[in-house]
Amino acid sequence: MSYKESCQKWLDFKGLPDYLRDEIIAMDDKTKEDAFYTNLEFGTAGMRGLIGAGTNRINIYVVRQATEGLAQLIESKGDEAKKRGVAIAYDSRHFSQEFAFESAQVLANHGIKAYVFESLRPTPELSFAVRHLHTFAGIMVTASHNPAPFNGYKVYGEDGGQMPPADADALTDYIRAIDNPFEIVLADLEEAKASGLIEVIGEAVDSEYLKEVADVNINKDLIEQYGKDMKIVYTPLHGTGEMLARRALANADFASVQVVEAQATPDPDFSTVKSPNPESQAAFALAEELGRQVDADVLVATDPDADRLGVEIRQADGSYKNLSGNQIGAIIAKYILEAHKTAGTLPENAALAKSIVSTELVTKIAESYGATMFNVLTGFKFIAEKIQEFEEKHNHTYMFGFEESFGYLIKPFVRDKDAIQAVLIVAEIAAYYRSRGMTLADGIEEIYKEYGYYAEKTISVTLSGVDGAAQIKAIMDKFRDNAPTQFNKTDIVLLEDFEKQTATSKDGSVTQLTTPPSNVLKYLLADDSWFAVRPSGTEPKIKFYIATVGSSLENAEEKIANIEKEINAFVG
């Protein structure tokens, strides 16, 4: 079906709400093509897109279709799966609550139980709720850290992790087989509530989650002595973090926490920031302003669904430095291992997990404590799979997992990134360095001096629409088939092609990779630098990851700049 035919099908549907019909009528041809030329696809963590009319947008019909597919998948698993049901949470974005309850109504029409949070809640609490309530699946309505025009829909498996590949593939097949989303039937909301098929949940689950969070901090005496008066500024960036982070910090006895109140109110337009992305220093503008007023030691920010954490640290001159996701991962890993070693509680089979595009600095840190590092594909569900494997085989004890894209998990009662947990451990780490007469900035420098100066950079290029998809494929093909043998005058000694599951050495010898297939290429250089290229699984983007090791931070960053120039020249 062409985009014009698909568009006309929507306009011919008599039940189409006026706001969607008016939007379609107002579209120019280019916008119309982008909105209808394809279906919004499930990627590494569900689907995410612009809010609006069309098959390539997120709206009530696309959400209904995804949920109808999930309902059919659950039905295929039998009556027990239907009774266990689905936990559903949502963030502060436009239509999030509507999408959540419409999903519950689709499930109820199939006789599938749905537990829906009474108001917005963080993604990690949804992961926890799946495990706590023993549901078969979970739905999180969120577009994570994307700007206001976006929303999304993530599906979780029964372990609380994002749905694993086998079930995700089956779900995709069910969704694609639905020919007409306009025919999907919704149960009556009030009747479904009265019958118990839809149950509204809230504080009871919050309390259980916060009980588990209370065990995240390792050295409570340290917090008692140095953390109570340590000044922390927190901003939830108009999102779900406000529901739990402030309570978690207070419960842990961090008493000098200041919240950016202008950003503590849910706001689907995120009106105080250009984008609610804690990876960006721009998102910290109000937090920095408050930090200077109260002389804060550390600033922390959570994204709208509170699964990602950004950190800024005060430097000697009083200014604030924005940490990279890799730097945050390094200070957390180092502290967790050191604190457990000091306490005599570091297990012999300690293990950490990270994505293949995250820094090798944390691998070096892990090895220095006798811990094993597991590298997995991008997508936190692969870290969740490792945790499940450790629990089933009793072969390793999970200590920490992270992705360079600002996602961290300390305790595995959650099986996704958890910024609430990360807020608490970063606050404790700041107290630890204070106890040594140091700042977090000093702590990072100490890590570099011990393990080497590691630097990383992620370049994200957006290529939307029909042409964009073709451009992304062409770039991947060019790297896969015609890549240079050197970058920054340094030989490529190993090419890892995760789609072909091969690792090819400079001498031509080939070994097999053990990860599942994924369209990622990673090039390792002779000086321990590396770069990787991969299309995003949830957005029309291609990402380049560059990592180097140098004799100084300046030297490592100079290497990054050189490799970036050569990548740009190669891509053309």
Type and span of the H or E element at 432: helix 419-435
Question: What is the torsional sign of CA 499, 381, 308, 443?
Answer: negative
User: From the DSSP assignment, how many helices (H) and strands (E) are in the chain?
Assistant: 20, 23
Helix (H, G, I), strand (E, B) or coil at 119: coil
Query: How far apart (Å, rounded) are the C-alpha atoms in residues 492 and 524?
Result: 6
Query: How far apart (Å, rounded) are the C-alpha atoms in residues 187 and 520?
Result: 42
Q: Write phi, then psi, for 304 (nearest 5 degrees).
A: -55, -30
Catalytic, out of 6, 103, 144, 405: 144
Query: How far apart (Å, rounded) are the C-alpha atoms in residues 30 and 96?
Result: 27
Residue in 551, 548, 546 with CA at minimum distance from that of residue 566: 546
The C-alpha angle 400, 388, 395, rounded to 5 degrees, equals 80
Contacting residues for 243 by C-beta, under 8 A, at least 6 apart: 119, 120, 121, 122, 125, 206, 306
Residue-level length of the chain: 572
Q: Is 96 a catalytic residue?
A: no
Query: How far apart (Å, rounded) are the C-alpha atoms in residues 489 and 4?
Result: 50
Is 223 in contact with 254 (CB distance < 8 Å)? yes
**Tokens 């140095």, residue?**
226
- Catalogue the active-site residues: 144
